[in-house]
């Protein structure tokens, strides 16, 4: 049976490859996702992804996929540090959720040190760049 994982991206992650490349790298999300999809094909994992710059739209999406997929990787972007609404949504999902950050939050500004999502996700992977998504997929698959 195919396992289905959705990757959810918060604000500004549509600008990967363009935004603050010294921190987030030069690869676009489309290029990163192509690599993840190749892994998915080999491992019988169907992948989909969704990005929004809007808090409520992310919540609507997560509520919708709660009954449609087997697991979620989420990089909530800056909402990690601000959104109690997104935290409450993740806490109510019937799915395993792994939080991903490209950068290592603890090495950055103090306002990035706390994540509301980390409190309710199964695990947080941060600081591995795009490889973090692959690690998250492998964890969910296992
Ligand atoms: C980020 C870290 C956040 O603090 C930031 O607001 C982002 C990206 C990361 O992937 O490292 O948008 O989630």
Residue 99 Cα, ligand 1 centroid: separation in angstroms? 11
Give the mutation target among 79, 102, 132 for probing the ligand 1 site: most ligand atoms within 8 A of CB: 102
The reply to whether 101 belongs to the active site is yes
Model confidence at 11, pLDDT cuts 50, 70, 90, reads very high
Cβ-based burial of 96 (10 A; exposed 0-12, middle 13-18, buried ≥19): middle
Q: Are 78 and 103 in contact (CB under 8 A)?
A: no
What's the confidence (pLDDT) of residue 65? 98
CATH, range 3-141: 3.40.50.9100
Atom of ligand 1 nearest to the CA of 104: 11
Query: How far apart are the C-alpha atoms of 128 and 101, rounded to whole Å?
Result: 8
Cα–Cα distances (Å) from 24 to 44, 91, 110, 112, in that order, read 29, 27, 18, 15
- Output 2 or 85, whichever has higher pLDDT: 85
What's the confidence (pLDDT) of residue 96? 98
What's the confidence (pLDDT) of residue 10? 98
What is the domain partition of the chain in residue ranges? 3-141
pLDDT in tens, 101-110: 999 999 999 9
Query: How far apart are the C-alpha atoms of 122 and 51, rounded to whole Å?
Result: 21
pLDDT in tens, 16-30: 999 999 999 999 999
Average pLDDT, the chain: 97
Per-residue pLDDT, averaged over 79-85, amounts to 98
Assess whether pLDDT exceeds 90 at residue 1.
no
What's the confidence (pLDDT) of residue 91? 98
Cβ-based burial of 5 (10 A; exposed 0-12, middle 13-18, buried ≥19): buried
Per-residue pLDDT, averaged over 123-128, amounts to 98
What's the confidence (pLDDT) of residue 45? 97
Which member of 24, 79, 116, 133 is catalytic? Answer: 24
What's the confidence (pLDDT) of residue 23? 97
Query: How far apart are the C-alpha atoms of 136 and 72, rounded to whole Å?
Result: 9
Per-residue pLDDT, averaged over 35-48, amounts to 97
The reply to whether 81 belongs to the active site is no
Pocket of ligand 1 (CB under 6 A): 12, 75, 77-78, 80, 101-103, 112
Residue 1 Cα, ligand 1 centroid: separation in angstroms? 33
């Amino acid at each position: 049976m195919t396992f289905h994982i959705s990757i959810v991206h918060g604000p500004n992650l549509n600008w990967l490859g363009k935004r603050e490349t010294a921190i987030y790298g030069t690869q676009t999300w489309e290029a990163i996702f192509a690599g993840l999809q190749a892994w998915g094909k080999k491992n019988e994992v169907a992948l989909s992804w969704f990005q929004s710059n809007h808090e409520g739209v992310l919540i609507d999406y997560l509520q919708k996929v709660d009954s449609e997929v087997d697991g979620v990787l989420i990089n909530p972007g800056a909402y990690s540090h601000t959104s109690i609404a997104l935290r409450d949504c993740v806490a109510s999902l019937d799915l395993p959720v792994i939080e991903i950050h490209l950068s290592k939050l603890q090495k950055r500004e103090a306002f990035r040190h706390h994540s509301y999502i980390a409190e309710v996700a199964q695990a947080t992977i941060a600081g591995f760049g795009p490889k973090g998504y692959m690690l998250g997929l492998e964890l969910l698959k296992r």
